[in-house]
Amino acid sequence: MDTFELFGTHHLRALLVVAVVWTAVLVYGGRWASARQQEQLARALAIILVVQEFALHGYHLAAGTWDHRDILPLHLCGFSVFLVAYTLVTRKPRLFEVVYFWGIGGAINPLLTPDITVTFPHFLFFQFFTSHGLIILGVLYLIVTTELRPSFKGLHWVFGLTAAAALVVGGINWLIGSNYMFLCEKPYGTNLTSFMADWPWYIGQIGVIALVLYYLLYLPYALADWRRARQAPAAVSAGE
């Protein structure tokens, strides 16, 4: 079995498949599906998200490689799997803000720089791209089929929640000798942390980058609000 090659043929093909699936689901859900069909598809995405996560555990149990130190859903993407699934069903605004920043911000980097060693056609290769691709797809689907949106206040609330989660997970890491949220060691392979300082300084750098990323993710909404604010006085003047 060959090892994973960053931006190699299998990686690029996987990204292409993910993009095609995103496009197909979002176009269908946003343009063609009825309200009932949108809800059914949301539930289907939620079910697939949860099932693929349990399939990962099933694989490791069958292979005898299940280890509580690296298989529990205690990374941001692990949290996001269940939170996105729940938000697809409930459409709770506060939860949407969490999955918007955690889901997109947390899953885009693993898709571009996966911390995996196996490649096509290994099960873990398929599961990795399925999981992270579905996290982002679930959030995008909520954007195009509902009126849910993040807020500026929510951005800072989610950042505070991220810091709190890191503290809790850091305590778990200390207790069981794990590396969840990559708080004890940088993730495997070439990725953004490869260019950062050594432990523990890279944790602070990740925090700064996360906050900048959250602002960038909020930027489209800020620009839309600014444009509407500028157009409102013109509309009032035209109506006088």
- What tens-digit pLDDT sequence spans the chain (240 residues)? 578 999 999 999 999 999 999 999 999 999 999 999 999 999 999 999 999 999 999 999 999 999 999 999 999 999 999 999 999 999 999 999 999 999 999 999 999 999 899 999 999 999 999 999 999 999 999 999 999 999 999 999 999 999 999 999 999 999 999 999 999 999 888 888 889 999 999 999 999 999 999 999 999 999 999 998 887 665 544 555
SS3 48: helix
Domain spans in the chain, listed from the N-terminal domain onward: 9-222
Closest CA to 102 of 145, 154, 30: 154
How far apart are alpha carbons 13 and 225 in whole angstroms?
A: 37
- 214, 159 in Cβ contact below 8 A? yes
Residue 118 β-bridge partners: 3
CA pair distance 54, 20, nearest whole angstrom: 25
* CA-based end-to-end distance of the chain: 72
Closest by Cα among 147, 143, 144, 139 to 45? 139
Give the whole-angstrom CA distance, residue 147 versus residue 161: 23
Tell me whether the omega of the peptide bond preceding residue 114 falls within 30 degrees of 0, making it cis: no
CA 73 to chain centre: 13
Record the pTM. 0.93
Distances (CA, A) of 187 to 58, 114, 122: 23, 9, 20
Using an 8 Å Cβ cutoff, are 95 and 86 in contact? yes
